[in-house]
Amino acid sequence: MRIRKSVFFDIAGLWIAIIEGEPLSSDPYNHVAFKIADAHYDEFSARISSLGLRFGKDRPRGAGEGRSIYFYDYDNHLFELHSGTLEERLQHHAR
């Protein structure tokens, strides 16, 4: 049995497992996003950095739209941790 490189996150009670597999060939924008409290933004960013994961590029944002941390797992899957709410985003785009 081959043991794969794995990282486990507990993000506000939500358990996420990132397990090594065959890497994707490019940097996709297809991603899974999770809501986080803005107060935890720096903590989660530091934790991701400590794992040696590669950060993705953020897109330009307007004021009040929240902040995002984009990062790739070991197989090049993209994840987002976002501090804004759906209501904030809708209000921003309605302006």
CA distance 91 to 85: 10
Our answer to whether residue 43 is catalytic in this structure is no
Q: Are 75 and 82 a contacting pair, CB within 8 Å? A: no
Which one of 20, 22, 65, 80 is the catalytic residue?
80
- How many residues in the chain? 95
Amino acid at 32: V
- Residues annotated as catalytic are 80
